[in-house]
């Protein structure tokens, strides 16, 4: 097992030294960093890889997906323990074991084992610790690789949707692995929500809502939001061509996916780049409560439900108002699945209301916010998470998005010092 450095790290002009580098050979360190990056890439793409296998005749089902995800998490944990645990690992470890206790409590009072919440928290804990062990070049490699794959298959999907369907067969994949029946009228072969509906917001540049390697539309929309967080956080450290590339990918997704929330976050990002570093440390903890308070104030009980942002805010308020004490204490965990469009209510049912509060505290305080980059990440990611929990129940916990988001969070936590000047270098340290 590798040991942490016992003396100050001196960074040469042409070298990259990671926070966990020891006397091991440069090759061993490079191989370790490559494995970290590929584990994150695999976490994002494994559904599409399984879908390709299914489209070519392999037998796939829900168990296949669960086994592959479990293998990825186990391999990631194995990579983590190759390096001695450090103080920065402590919040992730405490989070995991706290919700391990919550899971035992939920299983006892409901008289059956309920692993869903622990699985969600495991993704957060494991990928944040992976990020702590990643160098800047690994982060750049990982995000660029994922982005390149998204662009390739987004182009195929837009240019030749039949070819895209032939490669992945999204509708059949979700029927086999999620039990989602294909309507008789839907001959597109795409995920069920891809065609949208007449009243839905759209730029009209695609005949359906795109999904690329994510196979379903919400994850691609969330990827655009994640990419916005990544770009605003590390803008100064990225080469100009990468800034242009990532901005172009965000725009392409927004124009073809018809996502409202990610569009709002992207529009706010340029102002946030300058505003967030001037905000007080940890004031971001108020983002979710303020969003819920605003929703509570504007909610009209007589207003018919509509699938827009105001409608989702209203739905969140109504479902939270309908939560009784037994639900808040986790005695009705099976009802969590009923709240697919309200993440605050979903997680409160699935992990108790105090569990929801504890998760938000972790989300808000995990980054120390000692540098402008850390503040940009924290405020932008908190806004993303808080707004996502309004419009969807589980999307922010899926490994495809949560893996990326918390991998980047772990890396940002490790960056205790702000680079002296904008640079394209790969220096890393904490």
Share of the chain above pLDDT 70, in %: 87
Query: Considering all CA atoms of the chain, what is the largest pairwise distance in Å, rounded to the nearest integer?
Result: 67
| Chain centroid offset of residue 229 CA | 11
**Average pLDDT of every residue of the chain:** 87
Instruction: Kindly compute the dihedral angle of the four CA atoms of residues 416, 429, 418, 359, in this order, to the nearest 10 degrees.
Output: -40
Asked if 139 and 411 count as a contact pair (C-beta separation under 8 A), the reply is: yes
HSE-CB at 12 with a 13 A cutoff on CA atoms is 2
Q: Is the pLDDT of residue 129 over 90?
A: yes
- Model confidence band, residue 13 (pLDDT cutoffs 50, 70, 90): very low
- Model confidence band, residue 421 (pLDDT cutoffs 50, 70, 90): very low
Q: Where are the domains of the chain?
A: 26-192+202-298+305-414
Which tens digit of pLDDT belongs to each residue from 251-274?
999 999 888 889 999 999 999 999
Q: Is the pLDDT of residue 14 over 70?
A: no
pLDDT, residue 308, reads: 64
372-404 burial code (b ≥16 CB/10 A, e <16): bbbbbbbbbbbbbbbbbbbbbbbbbbbbbbbbb
Q: Would you say the C-alpha torsion 209, 210, 216, 219 has a positive or negative sign?
A: negative
Residues 6+ apart with CB under 8 A from 307: 197, 199, 200
The Cα–Cα gap between 296 and 286 comes to: 15
Its pTM surpasses 0.85: yes
- Model confidence band, residue 199 (pLDDT cutoffs 50, 70, 90): low
């Amino acid at each position: 097992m590798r040991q942490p450095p016992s003396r100050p790290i001196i960074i040469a002009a042409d070298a990259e030294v990671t926070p966990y580098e020891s006397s091991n050979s440069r090759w061993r360190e490079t191989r370790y960093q490559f494995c970290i990056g590929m584990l994150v890439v695999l976490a994002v793409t494994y559904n599409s890889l399984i879908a390709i296998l299914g489209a070519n005749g392999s037998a796939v089902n829900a168990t296949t997906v669960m086994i592959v995800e479990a293998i990825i998490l186990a391999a990631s944990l194995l990579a983590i323990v190759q390096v001695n645990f450090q103080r920065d690992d402590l919040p992730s470890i405490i989070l995991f074991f706290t919700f391990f206790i919550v899971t035992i409590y939920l299983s006892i009072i409901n008289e059956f084992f309920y692993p869903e919440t622990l699985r969600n928290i495991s993704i957060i804990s494991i990928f944040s610790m992976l990020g702590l062990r990643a160098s800047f070049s690994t982060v750049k490699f990982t995000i660029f690789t994922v982005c390149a794959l998204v662009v390739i298959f987004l182009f195929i999907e837009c240019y030749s949707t039949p070819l895209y369907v032939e490669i992945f067969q999204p509708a059949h994949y979700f029927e086999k692995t999620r039990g989602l029946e294909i309507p008789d009228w839907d001959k597109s072969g795409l995920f069920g929500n891809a065609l949208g509906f007449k009243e839905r917001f759209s730029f009209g540049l695609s005949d359906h809502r795109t999904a690329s390697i994510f196979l379903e539309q919400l994850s691609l929309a969330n990827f655009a939001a994640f990419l916005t967080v990544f770009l605003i956080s590390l803008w100064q450290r990225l080469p100009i061509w990468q800034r242009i590339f990532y901005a172009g990918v965000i725009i392409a997704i927004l124009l073809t996916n018809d996502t409202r929330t990610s569009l709002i976050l992207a529009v706010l990002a340029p102002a946030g780049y300058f505003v967030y570093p001037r905000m007080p440390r940890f004031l971001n903890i108020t983002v979710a409560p303020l969003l819920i308070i605003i929703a509570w104030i504007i909610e009209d009980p007589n207003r018919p439900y509509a699938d827009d942002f105001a409608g989702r805010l209203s739905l969140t308020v109504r479902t939270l108002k309908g939560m009784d004490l037994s639900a808040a204490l986790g005695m009705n965990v099976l009802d969590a699945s009923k709240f697919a469009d309200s993440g605050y209510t979903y997680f409160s049912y699935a992990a108790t209301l105090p569990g929801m509060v504890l998760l938000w505290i972790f989300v808000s305080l995990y980054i120390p916010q000692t540098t402008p980059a850390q503040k940009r990440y924290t405020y932008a990611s908190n806004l993303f998470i808080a707004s996502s929990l309004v419009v969807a129940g589980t999307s922010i916990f899926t490994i495809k998005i949560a893996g990326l988001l918390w991998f980047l969070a772990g890396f940002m936590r490790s960056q205790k010092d702000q680079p002296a000047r904008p640079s394209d270098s790969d220096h890393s340290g904490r």
